Chain A
Amino acid sequence: DSGVTQTPKHLITATGQRVTLRCSPRSGDLSVYWYQQSLDQGLQFLIQYYNGEERAKGNILERFSAQQFPDLHSELNLSSLELGDSALYFCASSVGEKGEQYFGPGTRLTVT
């Protein structure tokens, strides 16, 4: 158990819908990262937050957005969902911006 929690574990939704994935970092960790793992794209970095501020953006679609709240939990919002958005979404956290990243168990999103 890494100490990073993600909810829900599984999510099944229809095309065009909007979902929110939630992540709680390890106690004391200020940095949160979101990654997407899909069969065709592999593991890809989406976005990073540090102490509430966006720090880096990767291959994140405009339909996707995220935020980190004052209690340091983070949410990833996916809207206008397409079949190709079906993937495993991981959240990871680290103490600062230089520490090891510890991953949560992931949220499996299936878009039908």
Chain B
Amino acid sequence: AQTVTQSQPEMSVQEAETVTLSCTYDTSESDYYLFWYKQPPSRQMILVIRQEAYKQQNATENRFSVNFQKAAKSFSLKISDSQLGDAAMYFCAYRSPSGSARQLTFGSGTQLTVLP
């Protein structure tokens, strides 16, 4: 079974600065998808960014980008020019591309605080 590990329960960043959230995963599959979800105080789960394992190019969405290291099974999220609205719990998630395991497997989350 796949596992996802987020080793940083809490992180903080100064407004306008850059922060990187770490995620590692364990899988025997060669093809899969990785995601970062954001959960603000409203508790809504919001998709931030997605990465397909077969793509070597790192995904980017505005101020959010990932560093995907397939051999190391590492998938970190970089938030540039941090804003107060970025304060949230961030979850890393894994999904198989095929078979019955289409569900998301989540890490335990990293609580990000943005300091004014």
Inside 8 A of B43's CB, which chain A residues have their CB? 88, 105-106, 108
Inside 8 A of A88's CB, which chain B residues have their CB? 43
Given contacts A100-B47, A103-B45, contact A55 B102 (CB under 8 A): yes
Inside 8 A of A92's CB, which chain B residues have their CB? 45, 104
Indicate the size class of the contact surface on chain A.
20 to 34
B104 in contact with A101 (CB, 8 Å): yes
Query: Interface size (B, Cβ < 8 Å)?
Result: 20
0/1 per residue, A74-96, Cβ < 8 Å to B? 00000000000000101010000
Query: A103–B35 Cα gap in the complex (Å)?
Result: 13
Identify the closest chain B residue to A106 (Cβ): B43
Query: A101–B42 Cα gap in the complex (Å)?
Result: 18
Chain A interface mostly: strand
Chain B interface mostly: loop
A90 in contact with B103 (CB, 8 Å): no
CB within 8 Å of B: which A1-53 residues: 2, 31, 33, 35, 42-45, 48
Name 24 interchain pairs, CB-CB below 8 A, sorted by A.
A2-B44, A2-B46, A31-B102, A33-B103, A43-B104, A44-B106, A45-B103, A45-B104, A48-B102, A48-B103, A55-B102, A56-B101, A56-B102, A88-B43, A92-B45, A92-B104, A97-B102, A98-B97, A100-B35, A102-B47, A103-B37, A103-B46, A103-B47, A106-B44
